Chain A
């Protein structure tokens, strides 16, 4: 699927830039953005190391175990067949907490750990149903307080920057539910291409 998205985006860019006469900008963008991606990764190295290190501490001290237990009523239903005491489910819990608290740059490293741990636990070569559920939970992430958005709203003259919160919560809750529903419904019918 990612093959089609990557290929589709590049082909569309080519066609549109021919139509718009922007081929020069296109070649610049390709080279420049490839460089930017390296910078982006470099900026991620620090947070990845920091949160991976903190995660190891939390595992060693039993903190993730305790949190995993506390969230097990939710995770038990969402992630069938994963060891409830295992490393994967604990990383899943830490990622959910980070998302909920709006710690965006902690959620990514913890999410990566969760996927890697699931791959190990489920001996998977391709995405498993649990992985899809987990990824979808992250792409439709439920956030309690969208700080950056409120800040931008305040800068641009919002009377009450946070007055959108109820709308954000309902909208997030519904979209997360629909995403998980699709993840579950498509699981048995999906044919690998």
Chain B
């Protein structure tokens, strides 16, 4: 589905441009040049964030924090096995995907843990990556209430995942 979407969208954009008589290749080059500048601008933010996340992952902090959060998880109905995933999800997309894969292999896709983690992955995003890249590209340092508002959404997503799976399955 998504694999077919990309060529369709590209074809629609270029096709519409041709029909309207726009100089499609000239415009493409102009835009692509801007993309190059943007890439250079997000590099520093990515180096900082990816290095910090990488350090956090090897430090074993994830297990300790998950353990500390178990009582809280129990209170809201999140299985303790998915807590590391909830902690990893906002900071690293590839890290969360790896944890998610492990959970599926260990507990099966159709178990409670498998389903809750699937819904968690489907309904949330890599919050800090998005914030760092977007504001980094625009050169904005003061992100104001972006982080608390985004995290409120993430926490809601995690709680809703557990709730919806328990309700629907």
- Residues of chain A touching chain B, judged by Cβ–Cβ distance below 8 Å, are 1-2, 5-6, 9-10, 12-17, 19-20, 22, 25-26, 28-30, 32-34, 36-38, 40-41, 44-45, 48-63, 98, 101-103, 106, 108-109, 111-113, 115-116, 118-119, 124-127, 131-132, 135-136, 138-141, 143, 145-149, 152-159, 161, 164, 166-168, 170-172, 174-176, 178-180, 182-183, 186-187, 190, 192
Q: Does B61 contact A (CB under 8 A)?
A: yes
A167 near B161 with CB under 8 A, answer yes
Q: Does B36 contact A (CB under 8 A)?
A: yes
A127 near B146 with CB under 8 A, answer yes
Q: Given that A6-B49, A131-B140, A140-B125 are contacting pairs, would A25 and B58 also be in contact in the complex, using a CB cutoff of 8 Å?
A: yes
Report the separation of the CA atoms of residues A8 and B125 in the bound assembly, to the nearest whole angstrom: 21
Least CB distance, B73 to chain A, in whole angstroms: 17
Report the separation of the CA atoms of residues A9 and B52 in the bound assembly, to the nearest whole angstrom: 6
A60 near B23 with CB under 8 A, answer yes
Report the separation of the CA atoms of residues A50 and B146 in the bound assembly, to the nearest whole angstrom: 28
B32 near A49 with CB under 8 A, answer yes
Q: Given that A33-B55, A38-B43, A48-B38 are contacting pairs, would A182 and B149 also be in contact in the complex, using a CB cutoff of 8 Å?
A: yes
Smallest CB-CB separation from B147: which chain A residue?
Answer: A1
As a 0/1 sequence over residues 89 to 103 of chain B, the CB contacts with chain A under 8 angstroms (1 = contact) are: 011000001001100
B35 near A58 with CB under 8 A, answer no
Report the separation of the CA atoms of residues A138 and B123 in the bound assembly, to the nearest whole angstrom: 11
Q: Does B121 contact A (CB under 8 A)?
A: yes
Overall SS of chain A's interface? helix
Q: Given that A13-B61, A168-B119 are contacting pairs, would A5 and B27 also be in contact in the complex, using a CB cutoff of 8 Å?
A: no
A30 near B143 with CB under 8 A, answer no
B147 near A2 with CB under 8 A, answer yes
Report the separation of the CA atoms of residues A38 and B45 in the bound assembly, to the nearest whole angstrom: 11
Least CB distance, B13 to chain A, in whole angstroms: 5
Q: Given that A26-B59, A60-B22, A175-B160 are contacting pairs, would A168 and B150 also be in contact in the complex, using a CB cutoff of 8 Å?
A: no
A61 near B22 with CB under 8 A, answer yes
Least CB distance, A142 to chain B, in whole angstroms: 8
Report the separation of the CA atoms of residues A38 and B49 in the bound assembly, to the nearest whole angstrom: 12
Q: B residues within 8 A CB of A171?
A: 119, 122-123, 157, 160-161, 164
21 A-B residue pairs with CB within 8 Å: A1-B147, A13-B52, A13-B59, A17-B61, A19-B60, A41-B43, A49-B31, A56-B31, A60-B22, A109-B38, A116-B137, A132-B146, A135-B146, A149-B122, A152-B100, A164-B118, A171-B161, A178-B153, A179-B152, A183-B146, A192-B142
